[in-house]
Amino acid sequence: MAIAGKPFTAACVQMRSGIDPEANFAAAEALIREAAAAGATYVQTPEMTNVLQRRRKGLFDVVRTEDEDASLKGFRALAADLGIHLHIGSMAVLVGEGAVANRAYLIGPDGTTRARYDKIHMFDVDLTGGESYRESALYQPGDKAVLADLPEARLGLSVCYDLRFPYLYRALSQSGAEILAVPAAFTRKTGEAHWHVLLRARAIENGAFVIAAAQGGTHEDGRETFGHSLIVAPWGEILAEGGTEPGVITARIDPALVADARGSVPSLRHDRSFRLHDPSRLAGAAE
């Protein structure tokens, strides 16, 4: 059995990103510095830290390749300056002609990129009341689950809508993830209904910490996000929660609690294969 890492302080930076990447970087930098000053050695920002823009032309006017993105360069320098693991929950990054990724970055204390993750599940939904989103019209989905190592624990990466697909988190946890990262820009409507229960469920069913930095408030592009950044313990307790305004929350992360939870309820080791019996299909085949 692996020896659990030492406890450490983690932080969520809650933002209200707009359509100007330069302004968003300045807002993020101030909050990241605040988190580091509070003792956080792992700091997570929300989905779409660099720009929150629903309009295709507006997005393509400002999106850049990874090598050309000024915000990413700034975040790398900031992580090195503060000596922290900085997890940029996601950024819009140009990955080809007419192709943009919703990509997360884990940056080490030396300023190098330790891991990249492209959001797998695209938010294509029609909510009651006329609210509609087609993320796949703007972004290219990823196809790889990603794990990364912090000094104290193993981190499983995800982004926002991924939260509704529990098999991703089970695969990450069964591969050793002790912390599940869920940076997000949940809508106000879906957040009010599902945010807390889904995050706590992912923590409980995997015996893992869940750290979820969020966007919150009414944004320049017209959308309204839920906020309420959360840090959840492996037994499902909420350790820290934000409101709807930009800010920072922190919590002490003790990796030993993961081993305790998984030892008490070892469901990650109890998978069994099964067959699906559907009488209606059998009846249809007989006809």
Question: What's the predicted TM-score (pTM) here?
Answer: 0.94
Q: Is 47 a catalytic residue?
A: yes
Mean pLDDT of the region 130-148:
85
Alpha helices in the chain (DSSP H): 21-37, 56-62, 70-82, 166-174, 188-190, 196-206, 256-264, 279-286
Contact in structure between 55 and 83 (CB atoms under 8 Å): no
As a whole number of Å, the end-to-end CA separation of the chain is 55
Query: Which tops the pLDDT comparison, 98 or 228?
Result: 228
Over residues 74-93, mean pLDDT? 98
Query: What pLDDT is attached to residue 282?
Result: 67
Sign (positive or negative) of CA dihedral 86, 203, 163, 2: positive
Q: Which amino acid is at 139?
A: Y
Q: Is the pLDDT of residue 157 over 50?
A: yes
Helix, strand, or coil here: 73? Answer: helix
Q: What is the pLDDT of residue 221?
A: 87
Residue 97's pLDDT is: 82
E-strand spans in the chain? 8-14, 42-44, 85-96, 99-107, 113-118, 124-126, 132-134, 147-149, 154-156, 179-181, 209-212, 216-218, 224-226, 230-232, 238-241, 247-253
* Mean pLDDT calculated for residue range 139-156: 96
Q: Provide, rounded to the nearest whole percent, the portion of the chain with pLDDT above 70.
A: 95
The domain spans of the chain are: 8-286
Radius of gyration in angstroms for the set of CA atoms belonging to the chain, rounded to a whole number: 19
- The pLDDT assigned to 132 comes to 66
Identify whether 6 is a catalytic site residue. no
pLDDT at 168 over 60: yes
Q: Report the topology of domain 8-286.
A: Nitrilase/N-carbamoyl-D-aminoacid amidohydrolase (3.60.110)
Catalytic residue among 12, 152, 160, 178: 160
47, 152, 192, 220: the catalytic one is 47
For the stretch 170-190, pLDDT in tens is: 999 999 999 999 999 999 999
146, pLDDT greater than 50: yes
Helix (H, G, I), strand (E, B) or coil at 279: helix
pLDDT digits (tens, 9 = 90+) for 27-69: 999 999 999 999 999 999 999 999 998 888 899 999 999 999 9
The residues, ordered by sequence, that sit 6+ positions from 30 with a Cβ below 8 Å of its Cβ are none
Instruction: Report whether 209 contacts 234 (CB < 8 A).
Output: yes
Which entry of 119, 131, 224, 287 is annotated as an active-site residue?
119
